[in-house]
Amino acid sequence: MKTLIYFLVILMGVLASCGKDKNAYEIPIYHEGDQGSGWGEAKRDGKGWKATAFARNHQDGSGYIGIDFNTFTTQGDIRESLSFNEIPLKVGKYQIKGKVGDTYDGLVGSNYGLRESDGDVIGAVYSHDDASTGYIELTNVDTASNVVEGMFDKAVFIRFTPIESIYPETVVFKNGKFRMKIVE
């Protein structure tokens, strides 16, 4: 009987530890930066998140933009980069699917990454989880002032690299809002 109880206690301990280690590390909420070029906010893994934001014209002049959100340490070292690319520069709602580099497919690609040290060391790179459907919407496009505003409902990311890492396997952004300048 003692052997059975001992075995059950050990088994419960092993099972309990297996469920905890996948997302044991919680990404801190970093500083949002000066936000002079724009701002973004969302819920990242259920917690309030703010970032500096800016938009950039697509390199080929095709009428698309990409938007970037960055967070920083209090010393100004970059920590997070959230990007969406190939967004038509007009008011509308567009599906998020694929990577930032997937161009001319009619979808908004996205990526997320974490940096370490003084911002020049990659911590983890995440790819969009294409099994999750999300949308980004531009609600205001002012080309005279070079300002765009909008929102996104959700963007789910799966850790691509490194394979073995302290960082969580998934990161989820929800209920995003933004207002930013289009910079050259």
- Tens digits of per-residue pLDDT, 31-62? 999 999 999 999 999 999 999 999 999 877 78
CA dist list (Å): 33 to 4, 10, 37: 57, 47, 10
Contact 9, 23 (CB under 8 A): no
Q: How many CA atoms lie within 13 A of 53 on its CB side?
A: 27
Q: How far, in whole angstroms, is CA 58 from its chain's centroid?
A: 20
Least confident residue range of 13-22, 66-75, 172-181: 13-22
Q: List Cβ neighbours of 100 (8 Å cut-off, separation of 6 or more).
A: 66, 83, 84, 85, 109, 110, 111
Predicted TM-score of the model (pTM)? 0.85
Residue-level pLDDT at 61:
75
Residue-level pLDDT at 146:
95
Beta strands in 6-107 (DSSP E): 38-44, 47-57, 64-72, 78-88, 92-96
Contact 74, 63 (CB under 8 A): no
| H or E segment to which residue 15 belongs | helix 2-20
Indicate if the pLDDT at residue 125 is higher than 90.
yes
Indicate if the pLDDT at residue 153 is higher than 90.
yes
